[in-house]
Chain A
């Protein structure tokens, strides 16, 4: 489905070929690739951080934390740790999310350049790309591209004669949604179980192998070369809101044209759904949408004009998350959908903290009971309780609170559907 030809500026994706092959080093360079790195190496690390800060770039991994702010928590003074790490989070396992794959498979050098610039900004000497196992094509693209970058002198010792050294290594994970959580990812990289770590200390203070570390999402880092090349203002002006840049938006579910599009940050949900995803598939009506992956709250009809940026979606009671919407239609059971999600989250709990480890399976079992007609009125109270019990801060990491988002919003918007399951002793969609 990608790309649609419009006149929107698409720094991240404009050069990506649509034939299943990725841009080689030569091709990437011919589009202006690695010029940003050359420019960055002439700048002071602190200047780079300032530009990124000014650009308004927010983390594209889901939490939306300002990237420049994150980088500035790293101590780059003389007496700082001599070993620091930068890690690109390419674990993308959030249900309904498929944006990083596109960048990884289409333009690996853009990410690599972003990592090198980021690493230079925080004075890291080693970088990792943490890739989920299922992305085999991306694995091939990255392996080849890292080698090309080494051969071209963009990686290794004394990069571009700047005196800056950086190594890069690709780590292919062996499955667990938890690995995407940045501190759990560090444990996985250390060859351990991917239980999350307590914060504080933040990774920028004590991270991978105990050293200062920054973890950024693939899309976040892919933006960096463009920001350095064209400046903070340019980036800020790409978006339709006060949050800079474009965003990869996607849509799945019963829509006419599921797909992925790079669009100015802040286009409306309606535009996304109707202009890009082509509206609902024939015979289906819109019922609700998870705006940014499985761990975001449902938005419904009344929210269709909400701008898809971090602040606006939050104001509407959800999260922009990964920006890939999952559309719920009228012929799909909302309880069944939430059950599918909660079963996934229960399965992917690392087993470290009590609410997540015990609470999620219980939630999933209740939803299953509802789906199979064994639900009781009391169950809704327990579900309600679980949404508070597993609220942010109550659990060790954000997995379980994320899991509660679709549930709590479903209980808000689709309560009648839950009750129907109880009263009819069956799933009304499953007759």
Chain B
């Protein structure tokens, strides 16, 4: 027997989630979120275990997991940097921020720095266009960015 990915904690959280829905399968997105919250990303094994829990097929789960852009089906670092690349940030020069990040961290989109510290991703309009350019690191929004400010911010994520 290989070791299970989902802990009993995950399972009880997921079980609680599907009480909110008339159908168990409706909790699929909740389930994926819970797994990602607790494990950073959703592995193939996690997909299978969630499928079993929700009485769905792994294919049905993965159909959803691969559809949504914020479910990570590949490992990510401890901190996920999401750079807004939508129109207002583009006008306000997000590319400067992005290039600065790439150079500093020495990674491109979809890549993770050594020791799993940062993963760099793009994200659609963060809804803070009056403070463009903006990025999100984990759950934190950083706005009105300049390359200098960015360096200080990165330092706070170890």
Residues of chain A at the chain B interface (Cβ within 8 Å): 1, 92-98, 100-101, 132-137, 169, 172-177, 188-194, 209, 250-254, 258-260, 290, 294, 324, 326-329, 332, 336-337, 340-341, 344, 347-348, 350
Contact = CB atoms under 8 A, between A and B. Distances in A.
| Most A CB within 10 A of own CB, among B32, B139, B140 | B139
Nearest to A351: B67
Nearest to A348: B124
Given A96-B86, A191-B64, A332-B91, A172 B125 contact: no
Given A98-B129, A188-B29, A294-B86, A253 B91 contact: yes
A82 to B, nearest CB: 13
Nearest to A324: B129
Interface residues of B, number: 40
A84 to B, nearest CB: 13
Contacts of B30: 191
Contacts of B92: 252-254
Given A172-B33, A252-B132, A340-B87, A191 B126 contact: no
Given A133-B70, A191-B26, A324-B129, A95 B124 contact: yes
Given A209-B22, A252-B88, A194 B129 contact: no
A341 B88 CA distance: 10
Interface in B121-145: 123-132, 136, 139-141
A348 B140 CA distance: 23
B87 A193 contact: no
B130 A326 contact: no
Contacts of A175: 68-71, 123-124
24 contacts: A94-B125, A95-B125, A96-B129, A97-B127, A97-B129, A100-B127, A134-B123, A134-B136, A134-B141, A173-B29, A176-B67, A177-B124, A189-B26, A191-B23, A191-B26, A193-B63, A209-B22, A250-B129, A251-B130, A252-B132, A253-B92, A290-B87, A329-B91, A344-B124
Contact of B127 (A93, A194, A251): A93
B129 to A, nearest CB: 4
Contacts of A136: 139-141
A344 B26 CA distance: 28
Contact of B88 (A96, A100, A101): A96
The 4 closest A-B pairs by CB, nearest first: A175-B70, A252-B129, A258-B130, A191-B26
B47 interface: no
Contact of B91 (A172, A254, A350): A254
Given A134-B123, A191-B28, A209-B23, A258 B87 contact: no
| Most A CB within 10 A of own CB, among B26, B69, B125, B131 | B125
A98 B130 contact: yes
Contacts of A332: 91
Nearest to B86: A95
A327 B20 CA distance: 43
B129 A337 contact: no
